[in-house]
Amino acid sequence: MSNTSLQSGGQPKATFRLAIQLSEAVLIVEKAVVSLLMALLLLFIILNVVTRYAGIPLYWVDEAAVFSMVWLAFIGASALTRLRLDFSVTLLSDRLSDVNAGRLKALASVFSAAFAFALGVMCWRWMDPVGIASAGFDAKAYAGVSFNFLYTEQTQTLRWPTWAVSLVIPIFAVTMFIHAVANVVEDLRLAPARLRPDFSNAEVVN
């Protein structure tokens, strides 16, 4: 490890520490949200079964369960990126030296960060916050000018704004980028890797 990447006493630079701390803070929030969404999903499934069995089905429950699952999938995928529990193919890295395997791992994290950044750019263009703000947050006026009907559409049964449900995608892009950058910092040994004894069996997933 080069001396330029460390402060006195072998401590990583403040920028690297900040990247790790920000990622860990986001991870804490994600764990809480995932737990809440799993509870909601279970509740919706039970409610759906009970009401259908009683002959009084609530049709909005199906849509609510689907949206809960979608949010759970995106937020869970972001958390798994930081926990390094995402799926990977190790046919090449298993045959490399520890140094080269570490470099390959860092490269994979860089690609993850690049994907998250590209997804964020796409979401910015798709949701066009500047455009909708310029239209005075008038969804119909904005749609008439831009032919972007995101802010005028609603879900089928719950009648929720489509843009609100779709917010999970840019959120996922931001959080995944934060986690991927933290992973790169650790892979390049610019900061100590966080030990996670609760996930010591990650190899089983990979």
Answer whether 74's CB lies under 8 Å from 171's CB.
Answer: yes
Mean pLDDT of 148-165: 93
- The string of pLDDT tens digits covering residues 105-134 is 888 889 999 999 999 999 999 999 999 999
Q: What pLDDT, on a 0 to 100 scale, did the predictor assign at position 1? A: 43
Report the b/e string of 57-70 with b at 16+ CB within 10 A.
eeeebbbbbebbbe
pTM assigned to the model = 0.83
Beta-strand runs (E) in the chain: none
Alpha-carbon distance of 72 to 75, in angstroms, equals 5
Q: What pLDDT, on a 0 to 100 scale, did the predictor assign at position 201? A: 46
Report the b/e string of 78-103 with b at 16+ CB within 10 A.
bbbbbbbbbeeeeeebeeeeeeeeee
Report domain extents, the chain.
12-86+95-193
